[in-house]
Structure 1
C-alpha cells in the first residue's frame, strides 16, 4: 500500500471518529436542552400546586367559613392552564401528568360541592351531618392537593435525575471516543512510521555503499510504494547523486506536509458539527466531428483531476472507466448515437487507484438528415453529420452507501417498533387502574358508564350502580396512620373484587369512595349484592402493627332506568342514597327512592 493511501486511511478514520463524537455530543445536548426545558415547566408546576395546596389547607381548616373562594378559583384556573401547556417526552411521566390533570378536575368538583354545601349550611342552619360532610369534602380536597404535590415533586426530581444522567453520559461518551481516537491514530501512526523508517534505513545503507565508490552496486527492491520507486530511481540514475538527494528532500517535504495535514485535521474536528453530505454532479460535452471532450470543473473533480489541468478526450475518458464496465459504456454510447436513451451507472478508477460509482445521463439530438448532432442543445450541422454530444455525470458513491445504511436502519426500526408496541400495551393497562387498590380508576369508570348506558338505552336492559364509602375513614387515618388507611382501602377493594361477576366493574371513585357498575342487574339483585359486601367487610378483623380493629361501609344503590335515563342522573341518585345511609347511622345500605 502506498504511503499516501495510508495517510488517507488515517484521515478517514479520524474524521469518522470525530464525526461520531460531534454527533453524539449534539444529540445528547439536545436531550439535555429538552429535559432542562421540561424541568423548568415542572418547577413552575410544582410551585403552582404548592400554592393551591396552601389554599386547600386553609379550606380544610375552616370549611364552614370558605375563605377567599375567588383566590382559590384563580389559582386553580392558572394551574389548569399550566397543566395543559406542559409536555413531557417520557410516556411514564406523561401518565403521571395525566393523573395530575384528572386530580385538577376532581379538585374543582369538590370545591363546587363544598361551596354548595356551605351555602346550604348558612341558609338552612348548621347541622352535625352537614358539618361532617363539609369536613369530609374539605379533607378530600386537602388529600387530593397533597397527592398532586407529591406527584409533581416526584416528576421534578425524576427530571433532575434524568438531566444529571444525560450529563454523565456525555462525559462517559466523550472520554471513551477520545480514548478510541487517540489509540487508533497512535497505532496507525506507529505502523505507518515503521513502513517508512525501515525501507529508509535499508536505502541509507545501500547509498552509503554507492557513495563509497562502488557505482556498480544496485539498490534493488520489489516494494511498490514511493520508497520503492525512489530505490529504482537510484538504480537508473547512479550518475545523478544530486538528483537522488533532491528526491530525499522531496520525501522530507512530504512528511512535513503530512504533519501539517494532521494539524489541520485536529483544527477541523471542532467544526464537524456543521459538516453535511453534498451531492456532486458535473456536465460534459462531446463534439462528435472533432472528437473533443469538454468537462465542467465538477467533472474534473469527480474524475480526480485538477480543473483545466489537461484537455480530456473521449479515449482518455474510456481509459478512466473500470475495465469491467467499458463494454457497457461503449454499447450505451453507440446506442445513444442511434437514438436510444443514455442513462447508465458504471465505475471509474481515479488516478490514485480509488474506485467510485458514477451515474451518467445524456441525450443525443439529430439534425434534419437524421444524423446525431449533440446531446442536449439546439446546434445543427448542415452536412448532416454528428456535431457534438452533451451530458452529465453524477458521483453516486455516497448514495449507494446510504442505501445500504437505510436498509440496516429499517431493520433496527422494525425491532424498535415492536418494543414500543409492547410498552404501549403496558402503559395502557397502567392508565386505567388505580395504583393502590388495583381496581379501575375514575377515568375508566366514566368511559364504562358512557358505554354501558348507551347499550342499556339501545337494548333496554337495567344497569345498577352501587356507591360505597368507608365509615369514619378519617378517624382510621388519624388513629392508626395513613398506611393503615391504605390497608383498609386495599382490603375493601379485595372484598368488592371477591363478590363480582365477569361483566361487573369495580372502580375507585376517589379517596375512600368506590363505585360498582352492574350491567344487566335489576336493583333488587344489586341491593342483595351490596348487603353481601357490607356484611363481608364488617366481618373482617383488620390488623396493623399489632393493633386489631374493624371498619364498616355505607352503600347507596340506584339503577337505570328507574332513577334516571343518564349516567349522571343515576350516579347522583346513588350518591344521594349513600348520603342517606350515612345520615341514618352508617354501616347500612339505602336504595334510592
Structure 2
C-alpha cells in the first residue's frame, strides 16, 4: 500500500474514533445533566420539607394560631408546586416522587382534619379531648413530614451516586478509545517505518552501538543494495580493528573492574556512617584475645568522644557507664561469653557530666573449641525517645486528672440543671421526664406507680406574716423531710411554688396512702424557728395510682391534684385518695 494511502487511513480512523468519543461524551453529559437537575430538585425539596417540619413544630405548639396555620399552608403549597414540576428518568425515581406526592396530599388532609376537629367535637367533647386529638393529628403530620424528608434525602444521595458513576463511565470510555486510537496510529506508523525508514534507522542504530565502543558488534545487513554493501565493508573494517585492540581492551576492562569495586566499597562505608548517624546507631567489635576494641564514628559521638583523641578500651567503656547500671552490663557481657546474647538498656555518663540512655545489643563469636574470640554489637542512643516517653506519661497523667475534673463539673452541671436550688429536690422538668419513663415501664412490665401531690397549707399567710425568707425556710424544711423519707427509685420534686410531687414506682395505692400520712404527720410535728419566732405548718396531700386513676402520667397526676383539692376543701392537713376514674 502507498504511504499516502496509509496516512489517509490513519486520518479517517482518527476522525471516526473522535466522532464516536464525542457522541459518547454527549450522551453521558446528558445523563449527568439530568441527574444533576434531579439532585438539585431533591435538595430543594429536602430544604422545603425541613422548613415544613419547623413550621409543623410551631403549629404543634400553637394549633389555633392563624399565623402558624397560614405559614404552614403556604409552605405546603410551595412544596406541592415543586413536586409537580419534578421530572424523572427511572422507575425508581418515579416511585420516590409518587410517594412524596402522595405523602404531600396526606399532609394536607391531616391539616384540614386538625382544623375541623374543634368544630366537630365542640358539642360532644371537652377541651382536653380536642387538644389530645389535635396533638395526635399534628404528631401524624410530623411523622409523615419526617418520612418525606427521609425519601428526599435518599433520592438526593442516589442521584449523587449516579453522577459519580456516570463520570467514571465517561473516564473509562475515554481511556479505552484513547488506547484504541493510539494503538491504531502506532501500528500504521510502524508499517510505514518498516517499509521505508526501517533500514536507515537500523543502520544508524548499529553504527551508534559500534561508535560507543562495542567493536565486537556487527551491522549484519544482508540486503542487495548500497546499504548492504556499506554494511559489509564496515563489518570487515571492524574485524581488523578488533584484532589490533583485543589485548588493550582486556587490560582496560580489568582496571575498570578494580576501580569500580574500590569506589563501591568507599560509597558503602560512607552510606553506613551516614545511616548510623541518622539513626543514632553505632557498631562496635571487641577482639577478646587481643584486647582491641573498635568503635564506629557514631559510638564516639554517642559517648561524647573524638575519634583519634580517645583510645577505646574495655575499661574505658565500663568507666563511661552509669555506676548504678554497671552490674547489669557486666552480667550481660558475662552471659554473652557463655553463649547467650543480650539486649539491654542502660545509662552512660558523658565527659561533660550529662547522661544519656542507650539500647545495647551484643553477641559473641566462638572458635572450633567453643572458646569466645570476638564480641560485636550495636549501641543505639534512645535518650530523646525516653525523654518523649516520660513526657508523654506525665502528659497522660495530667490529661487524666483534667478529664476527671471535667466529669465532676459535668455531673455538677447536670445536678444543677435537674435540681431545685432552694429545696435540693428535683425540678419540674426532671419530674416530667421521670413520669414518661416510669409509666412506660409500668405499661411494659405491669407494675403500679403511685403519685402524691402535696401543698403547704396557708403558705401565703406565712409569707405575709413572717416574710419570704421564712417561707423559703418552710420550703427547705419540707424538702429535707422528703429527701429523708424517699426510698429506692422514688422521686420527689418541687412542682411549683409551695406544691410538691412524689413519684413512687412499684408502690400500690394503700402503701402510698400510708406513706403520705407519715409525711403529713412528720411535717406537722416540725418546729421551725425564724428570728426567734416559732413557725408551724401543715400539709394537704392527694394520692392517685396507675391504673386505678388513669393510664397515663398526666391522667394520674390530674387525679392526684384532684385529691389534693378535696383535702383542701375538707379542712386541710389531711390525706385524700382521689376518686376512682370512670371506666
TM-score, normalised by the number of residues in structure 2? 0.36
* Higher RCO (CA 8 Å, separation ≥ 6 residues): 1
- The structure that has the greater radius of gyration is 2
TM-score, normalised by the number of residues in structure 1? 0.35
